[in-house]
Amino acid sequence: MEAPAAPHSPDEHRAAPVSVELTVSAPEQMRELGRHLAKLLRAGDLVMLNGELGAGKTTLTRGLGEGLGVRGAVTSPTFVIARVHPSLGDGPPLVHVDAYRLGGGLDEMEDLDLDVSLSDSVVVVEWGEGKVEELTEDRLHVVIHRAVGDTTDEVRHVTLTGVGERWVAVDLSVLSA
């Protein structure tokens, strides 16, 4: 005789986050990390970048743009809020957003129509924590830690965490190779 099945909670079927931690010791290595990460991305992916000013968020995104093969120089979109970089091949475009100056959550972000862009683009949002999570249950959180204060230390500690079903089968550990 079998024991009765345990009751299911609504969160039971959610995928556990998948994480990897890396150490990056130079800006070129951060850019290279972006190029390698681009190979794991596809249209519909949301990448949230968080870290102190000067941590390397835009440098990482520059590498993503190179890896995705998009048109245009990837620079910080701080003053224009968002830039679209069309693909030069058959890959997805890159939508690069800087949410630093945006105060409100998703309401303010809706004006950017990110939900429309998300399905056919790779959307990267700097300073997106607490602002864009509602766009999709599947997203990649990238947190970059660096020494703060008066320092010339180039070392960064990068934590990548895949959230949702999309990231369950993605082996983020290949980025540390």
Residue 141 in this model has a pLDDT that exceeds 50: yes
pLDDT at 9: 45
pLDDT at 37: 98
pLDDT at 25: 93
pTM of the model: 0.82
pLDDT digits (tens, 9 = 90+) for 1-50: 444 444 444 445 556 778 999 999 999 999 999 999 999 999 999 999 99
Question: Three-class SS string for the chain?
Answer: CCCCCCCCCCCCCCCCCEEEEEEECCHHHHHHHHHHHHCCCCCCCEEEEEECCCCCHHHHHHHHHHHHCECCCCCCCCCCCEEEECECCCCCCEEEEECCCCCCCHHHHHCCCHHHHHCCCEEEEECCCCCCHHHCCCEEEEEEEECCCCCCCCCEEEEEEEECHHHHCCCHHHHHC
pLDDT digits (tens, 9 = 90+) for 113-138: 555 566 899 999 998 888 788 888 99
